[in-house]
A and B are shown apart, each in its own frame.
Chain A
Amino acid sequence: MIKLIPRAENSKAMIILSPIIALTLTALSAFVIFLFILDDIAVSSVFFTLFAEPLLDSYYFSELLVKAAPLMIIGLGLSIGFRAGIWNIGAEGQYVMGAVAGGAVGLYFYNVEGFWLLPLMAIAGIIGGMLYASIAAYLRIKYQVNEILVTLMLTYVAVLFLQAMLQGPLRNPSGFNFPESRMFHDSAMLPIIWEGTRLHIGLIVAILLSILAWFGIKKHMFGMQIKITGSAPRAAKFAGFDDNKTVWYSLLISGGLAGLAGLFEASGPAGQLTPGLPQFYGFTAIIVAFLARLHPVGILFSALLIALSYVGGENVQIDYNLPSSITQIFQGMLLFYFLACDILIKYKVVLFKKNN
């Protein structure tokens, strides 16, 4: 028989060990899956392409960082809400709305050069994401409607809205009716920080934001407030914390950051608004936030890990004709194992023989 005995204190060793166990289990499962689906390719070479090549080749490594940046920015915002028990699951929608709002500003000033344009677009992107998330905040406070469902429904709406915009006002006037916007001009494009790659300034912004968030949570009263609201709602009430404020801040911050990430994607790697802009980052960032245990600096690392699986997944698709959806399976499995292994922190697993 197996029995779980609660620990008096969380195990410090397990806090570090459990993610490693989860990673090992994911790698083992991936190995078994490959053994089943690969006929005449060595599993080791697929493993190499999937997990090692993105780290060894400088171009793939830059792509890894390109993909990690939006995951970091969105994950940071989500983690703040998750700490307070506010489940913004529709970051993907806020990401799209941020891209549309910021992108529209860039297109409005098409061919107008100026250093002020990018900041303006970024602000528009943040506001776009914030406004979109504020719908969920308002409905939750005014009508107690669950924010999980509202943000999700609005994600589907946002994707449709992007398509409608690209067939209407934002369509490239000389683009042969393709549902795409113009390519952004130079002043509307993010500066590249690594010559010859697509790596843009968004990565630096992400790192700065994570440090800012870390200080905010550690030192600022608001950090305390969201933590207590999430872990002990009754205590938060007695302390006189304003519930509504927590809802507003959580959703506005996560929505704004998702919007910023969307704008960065549009004016960075994509260079225009296209229907292919939503790439599931908003959902994957949920995994990123959890893998980091909602810690702002930890998110930098978990985003890199997940980005590795993205780039690796694309490479195995090209090299071995395996579908890239395999990365989504691994990401889901990783989260499963990770959640499961967390039990080792709070509980001691004891094996014992049954005797009357």
Chain B
Amino acid sequence: MIENLLIEIFIGITIASAPLIFAAIGELLVERSGVLNLGVEGMMIVGALLGFVVISHTGNPYLAVLAALVAGMMIASIFAFLTQFLLTNQVATGLALTLFGLGFAAFAGRDYTEVTIDLIGPIHIPILSEIPYIGPSLFSLNPLIYLAFFMVYLVWWFLFKTKQGLILRAIGDNHDAAHAIGHNVVLYRFMAILFGGAMAGLGGAFLSLVQVPIWGEGMTAGRGWIALGLVVFASWQPFRIILGAVIFGGITVLQLHAQGFDIRISAQYLSMLPYLATIVILVSLRMRLKNKTNRTVPNCLGRIFHSTT
């Protein structure tokens, strides 16, 4: 019995952390290019809605995931256009994107609050999923969870193993120098922002297609902001995103199980845990770094670039 519970908790953690991994890994790439997009929450909720709408009409999970991805990119392109071409303040524009996204999703999703869908279920990898303990916990997961982990690897590979990744990091650290040697700062950043939007959209879709079979206007519940915190926690290193997301997922699952066990604390206090944990995680990071400055912060993060030549 206890084994089953442990496996259940393990799977629960992967499900709770996957949307954060998606959103955070996208934002990580964006920030590595020197752009701070605070619109993650807004992009996530739009992705969640569009994924839900498409699956409720077509029943096709592939189309739904694709729709969420494209929706995230579309709304991110507003941010990209404003910050890259019209040189707007990134903090303000990102906040506007979140407010706009939440409003848009609430408005466009008003006819879907009563609808339920079939969730995207886990896949069972042949043979491997038969292995006791390891099989059900590692090889019978939701396909999107494997995708989330793969995206982390992909971003790491892109940033540190490809020439374009090197250029992107250079742009994030010194856009004037990168521009001077002939790299297209705006193009790289635009692409990075679109990628960030796609990943946030996917993260949102995970909520409405895998976690719960319904749509609600507040369903992201701050996960976009938590993802932003995870990027800082990860010190802009891709694989550390997984660590942060798993800690967060663990706390979420713990809180749900504690509510089930009839512990005499009101549910609201338990629900606070993930948010408080995010703060604690950020503080603990600084305690680890002591007084050293965080050298991995992209130098140009949030700064506006405009070339006169």
Contact = CB atoms under 8 A, between A and B. Distances in A.
Interface string A317-337: 000000101111101110110
Interface string B105-127: 01100100000000000000000
Nearest to A166: B268
B272 A157 contact: yes
A339 B100 contact: no
Contacts of A342: 88
A211 interface: no
Interface in A248-280: none
B99 A287 contact: yes
B86 A343 contact: yes
A163 B272 CA distance: 11
A145 B282 contact: yes
A105 B107 CA distance: 38
Interface string B92-103: 110111011111
Contacts, number: 128
Contacts of A4: 87, 306
Interface string A150-163: 10111011001101
B89 to A, nearest CB: 7
B106 A87 contact: no
A347 B78 CA distance: 20
> Chain B: interface secondary structure?
helix
B221 interface: yes
Interface stretch (B61-69, B136-144, B175-183, B224-232): B224-232
Interface in A1-60: 4-6
A355 interface: no
Contacts of A64: none
Q: Which of B99, B222, B287, B308 has the most CB of A within 10 A?
A: B99
Given A152-B222, A343-B86, A325 B110 contact: yes
B278 interface: yes
Contacts of A5: 308
B103 A329 contact: yes
B156 interface: no
Contacts of B110: 323, 325
B80 to A, nearest CB: 12
A281 to B, nearest CB: 13
A340 B222 contact: no
Contact of A168 (B232, B266, B271, B278): B266
Size bracket, chain B contacts = 35 or more
A312 to B, nearest CB: 15
Given A328-B102, A331-B99, A332-B99, A323 B107 contact: yes
Interface in B275-304: 275-276, 278-279, 282-283, 286-287
B282 A340 contact: no
What band does the interface of chain A fall in when counting residues whose beta carbon is under 8 Å from B?
35 or more
A164 B268 contact: yes
A290 B94 CA distance: 13
A287 B97 CA distance: 11
A144 B290 CA distance: 10
A51 B291 CA distance: 54
A149 B107 contact: no
A148 interface: yes
B104 interface: yes
B217 interface: yes
A163 B87 CA distance: 41
A139 interface: yes
B221 to A, nearest CB: 7
A6 B104 CA distance: 34
Contacts of B99: 283-284, 286-287, 328, 331-332, 335
A187 interface: no
B269 interface: yes
A143 interface: yes
14 contacts: A89-B95, A145-B283, A146-B232, A153-B275, A153-B276, A157-B275, A284-B99, A287-B96, A326-B103, A329-B107, A332-B100, A336-B78, A336-B82, A339-B93
List 3 A-B pairs, minimum CB-CB distance, nearest first. Answer: A328-B103, A332-B100, A325-B106
Given A143-B282, A163-B268, A339-B86, 7 more contacts: A139-B282, A143-B286, A145-B279, A149-B279, A150-B282, A286-B95, A340-B88
